[in-house]
């Protein structure tokens, strides 16, 4: 009875806020196969902003891509994954140094989860007093875990000078993080830590690398619209004018 009661309580807590006209703190949606998108929220410039992350369920355990922005959801996400899949998170990757991606790295490291960033992300995290990973990638890296293969890829500077993407070539899943904006975005968002002039060429390198993606996951917009990369390239082209 305890697991059933816990599931009911989690379900109630997840959606009670919505029933009162508030945004749920944690939403998990199925993407395809063993891939899931999770969404948490935080406040930016007095507005509630969503932050999408992804996780993959493998036979060896669950791999998380980016951590929740809302620190109150670090453990609830782990609990939800355990209840839903009866597996533990074993690895967590952050795609750049901003705290909407790295906030949970230290917490997850304390839980025995292997955390990863690039060496450049680690340097910037240290400089800006953000959370840091335990394991560092010096180059683009291919991981083969639990029957799945994916590559971390640094295409160049854009949203930040360290932003990477994750590419699942077999499944044609492009996890773009904050580098790629939503298909209906009016602009490329916060750019003070990025490179406006290089943004377009960086996105084109992503387009060249990731042929015919079936899914493109973006950080702060609707991730279900496949036109997000092409739209972002158009927005980036305008930055040069």
Distance between CA 194 and CA 135 in Å, rounded? 24
Query: pLDDT digit string (tens) for 215-235?
Result: 999 999 999 999 999 999 999
Q: Which of 76, 164, 155 is nearest to 116 (CA)?
A: 164
**25 pLDDT more than 80:** yes
Start-to-end CA span in the chain (Å)? 63
CATH code of the domain containing 102:
3.60.15.10
Q: Which domain holds residue 43?
A: 27-238
Q: Does a structural domain hold residue 81?
A: yes
Asked whether residue 16 is assigned to any structural domain, the reply reads: no
Strand order in the sheet with 89-93: 27-32, 35-44, 47-58, 61-65, 89-93, 114-118, 135-137
Please check whether residue 17 lies inside any domain of the structure.
Answer: no
18: in domain? no
Token pair listed for 61: 């355990």
pTM here is 0.90
Number of H helices, E strands in the chain: 7, 12
pLDDT band of 48, cuts 50, 70, 90: confident
Residues 50-91: pLDDT tens digits? 999 999 999 999 999 999 999 999 999 999 999 999 999 999
Band the pLDDT of 17: cuts 50, 70, 90. Answer: very low
What residues does 40 pair with on adjacent strands? 51
> Would 184 be classed as within a structural domain?
yes
Total of domains in the chain: 1
Q: Would you state the pLDDT for residue 23? A: 63
Instruction: Find the helix or strand (DSSP H, E) in which 145 lies.
Output: strand 141-145
**Which of 35, 95, 31, 87 has the alpha carbon at shortest distance from 69?**
95
Judge contact between 93 and 194, C-beta under 8 A: no
Residue the block writes with tokens 């949970």:
104
Domain assignment present for 9: no
Residue 7 domain-assigned? no
Q: What pLDDT digit, counting tens, does each position of 161-178 carry?
A: 999 999 999 999 999 999
Strand 165-168 relative to strand 148-153, pairing: antiparallel
| Domain-located, residue 14 | no
Pairing of strands 47-58, 61-65: antiparallel
* Extended strands (E) in 10-127: 27-32, 35-44, 47-58, 61-65, 89-93, 114-118
Give me the mean pLDDT over the 180-185 stretch: 96
């Amino acid at each position: 009875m305890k697991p059933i009661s816990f599931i009911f309580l989690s379900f109630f807590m997840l959606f009670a806020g919505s029933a009162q006209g508030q945004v749920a703190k944690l939403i998990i949606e199925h993407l395809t196969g063993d891939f899931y998108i999770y969404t948490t929220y935080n406040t930016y410039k007095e507005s509630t902003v969503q932050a999408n992350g992804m996780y993959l369920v493998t036979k060896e355990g669950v791999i998380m891509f980016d951590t929740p922005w809302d620190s109150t959801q670090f453990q609830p996400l782990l609990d939800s994954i355990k209840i839903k899949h009866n597996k533990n998170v074993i690895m967590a990757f952050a795609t750049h140094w901003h705290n909407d991606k790295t906030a949970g790295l230290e917490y997850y490291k304390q839980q025995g989860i292997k955390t990863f960033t690039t060496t450049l992300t680690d340097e910037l995290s240290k400089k800006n007093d953000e959370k840091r990973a335990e394991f560092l990638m010096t180059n683009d890296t291919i991981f083969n875990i639990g029957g799945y293969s994916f590559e971390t890829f640094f295409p160049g500077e854009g949203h930040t000078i360290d932003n990477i993407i994750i590419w699942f070539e077999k499944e044609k899943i492009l996890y773009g993080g904050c580098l790629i904006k939503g298909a209906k975005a009016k602009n490329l968002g916060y750019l003070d830590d990025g490179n406006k002039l290089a943004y377009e060429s960086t996105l084109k390198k992503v387009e060249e690398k990731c042929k015919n993606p079936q899914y493109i996951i973006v950080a702060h917009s609707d991730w279900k619209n496949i036109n997000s990369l092409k739209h972002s390239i158009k927005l980036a082209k305008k930055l040069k004018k």
